[in-house]
Structure 1
């Protein structure tokens, strides 16, 4: 496996009055990228739910280096940073380029912490072994 990248096409409706992507949309993009990342590592979200586990975001950080504008090409590079007993910390590098002749550059770095919860009671539970193993395997490749 190589690193995972999730393509995004900024929609006109996601642009604010300053002409850039409204900050809340970055979190939506990361949520979508994480779901795709789970499938890519071999433990799709529906499988996790079937196993009785769900995840909830308990912490989010966004660090801005550049703005994303309508018409930019966007790619989100997803990397697992840490698997704890009940939580995961994931880094999302939201990269942009204005033209095909331009190099990809980090625009926004997002860090999300998810906590695993029981899918019915929503009480904290251990990270499923299948997810921890899939993330560890993806990190080694």
Structure 2
């Protein structure tokens, strides 16, 4: 299952070369994560009230081409790996059909500040 999030590239997101500054690709991946959770039926209000949270433990970026001011970026979010306490989401960032960047972010489930297994019903949402 893939979720697509999109936004126009703003002038403020570009550097002096007229291309998107690298840190914005991470922001776009983060923006795409919320609708990705929602599409899977994950209720973070409920899980948060039960003491569960998720945090980023690693992100990698691989560039193919640059997005520029005036482009519209689309971010495809897909589950790449589901572990016992962690998961990795792959974010494919593109302009039209032209790939720009792939972001892979690994999140860990925490309770009380310590890694814990994803709750079974949350895991079912992710695996489904």
Asked if TM exceeds 0.5, the reply is: yes
Q: Distance in 2 between matches of 1:125 and 1:60?
A: 20
The root-mean-square deviation of aligned C-alpha atoms, in Å, is 1.3
Contact 1:35 1:45 in 2 (8 A): no
CA contact (8 A) 2:3 2:35 kept: no
What residue is the counterpart of 2:24 in the other structure? 25
Report what 1:49 is aligned to.
48
Structure 1 unaligned blocks of 5 or more: 98-103
State the Cα distance separating 1:66 from its structure 2 match.
Answer: 0.4
Deviates more, 1:128-137 or 1:15-24: 128-137
| Shift, 1:10, TM fit | 1.6
Match of 2:73 in 1: 74
Query: Within the alignment, does 1:112 sit opposite 2:105 as a pair?
Result: yes
Q: Deviation at 1:17?
A: 1.1
Q: State the aligned residue count.
A: 128
Q: After superposition, where does 1:1-141 map in structure 2 within 5 Å? A: 3-97=2-96, 104-118=97-111, 121-137=112-128
Structure 2: tracts of 5 or more residues without a match? none
CA contact (8 A) 2:5 2:74 kept: yes
State TM-score, norm by structure 1. 0.85
In the alignment, the residues of structure 1 paired with residue 42 and residue 50 of structure 2 have an alpha-carbon distance, to the nearest angstrom, of: 11
Deviations 1:43-78 (A, max 9, x none): 033233123211111111100000011111111000
Higher strand share: 2
How far did 1:80 drift? 0.2
State the shift of 1:19 in Å.
0.9
* Structure 1 consecutive aligned stretches of length 4 or more whose deviation exceeds 2 Å: 44-48
Residue 111 of structure 1, CA deviation = 0.4
SS in 2 for 1:89: strand
Q: For 1:63 and 1:123, locate their aligned partners in 2 and report how far apart those are by CA, in whole Å.
A: 30
Q: Which residue of 2 aligns with 1:101?
A: none
Secondary structure, aligned partner of 1:35: helix
